[in-house]
Amino acid sequence: MKLLEERILRDKVVLPGGILKVDSFLNHQIDPALMREMAREFYRLFAAEGVTKVLTIEASGIGIAVPTAEEFGVNVLFAKKAKTANLSPEVYTADVYSYTHKTQNKIFVSKNYLNENDRVLIIDDFLANGQALLGLMDLVHAAGATVVGAGIAVEKGFQDGGKLVREKGVRVESLAIVDKMDEDGNLKFRAQ
């Protein structure tokens, strides 16, 4: 998506360790007009899939997930991060491994808001090693629901997540894929 690529090029900061900082429009301050355009693109891509729910993870996914769900006319459910979630029988839980922090964290959603009839579109801001996405997929499967695909704003193509999830047969649509990045701020997007 040209609009997103141009915005990344204009506003990004590249941090050591391969981190792309885009907190002027996506991860801290949020540009609603850009979120709206991304939502329309996700709708165009997944309109035929019979989506009944949009699932994301707090906090950064929510800003894109809300307008996306509005396009589909469905609700957004966001997975919460909590340490005690596995104790409650009223929630589905999954584990997400953080490479950055080298820790395993629980995420959860209430059983009230996800069931076996749901056709779920997962939305997230970044796809890097894929652990957040795999955890969200585990939640959907725990509910007996169906993952129709994943819509990602920025995929870091030089990390393994996209390959890992696509190899599982899941349709992943990323609006911008960064294949190369260096600390001088040079970025190369994958042509798509």
Distance separating the N- and C-terminal Cα atoms of the chain: 9
Residue 126 touching ligand 5GP (CB under 6 A): yes
Of 172, 132, 130, residue with least CA distance to 149:
172
Q: Report the b/e string of 109-130 with b at 16+ CB within 10 A.
A: beeeebeeebbbbbbbbbbbbb
Q: Give the interface segment with ligand 5GP, choosing from 5-13, 31-39, 70-78, 118-126 (CB under 6 A).
A: 118-126
Among 51, 94, 125, 140, binds ligand 5GP (CB under 6 A): 125
Is the peptide bond prior to 59 cis by the omega test (within 30 degrees of 0)?
A: yes
Q: Give the interface segment with ligand 5GP, choosing from 3-11, 20-28, 140-148, 169-177 (CB under 6 A).
A: 20-28
Q: Give the interface segment with ligand 5GP, choosing from 2-10, 14-22, 72-80, 109-117 (CB under 6 A).
A: 14-22
- Considering the complex, state which of residue 67 and residue 130 has its C-beta at the smaller distance from ligand 5GP: 130
How far apart, in whole angstroms, are the C-alpha atoms of residue 94 and residue 139? Answer: 6
Binding string, residues 127-166; x marks residues near ligand 5GP by CB under 6 A: xxxxxxx----------------------x----x-----
Residue 141 contacts residue 114 (beta carbons within 8 Å): no
Residue 171 contacts residue 151 (beta carbons within 8 Å): no
Q: Give the interface segment with ligand 5GP, choosing from 17-25, 76-84, 104-112, 168-176 (CB under 6 A).
A: 17-25
Number of residues in contact with ligand 5GP, rule: CB under 6 A? 19
Residue 107 contacts residue 136 (beta carbons within 8 Å): yes
Among 19, 47, 180, 188, binds ligand 5GP (CB under 6 A): 19
Write down the least CB distance from residue 73 to ligand 5GP, Å. Answer: 26
How far apart, in whole angstroms, are the C-alpha atoms of residue 160 and residue 147? Answer: 20
Site for ligand 5GP in 44-73 (CB under 6 A): 60
- Considering the complex, state which of residue 20 and residue 64 has its C-beta at the smaller distance from ligand 5GP: 20
How far apart, in whole angstroms, are the C-alpha atoms of residue 130 and residue 70? Answer: 25
Kindly list the residues in this chain that would bind ligand 5GP in the complex (CB under 6 A).
19-22, 27, 60, 99, 124-133, 156, 161
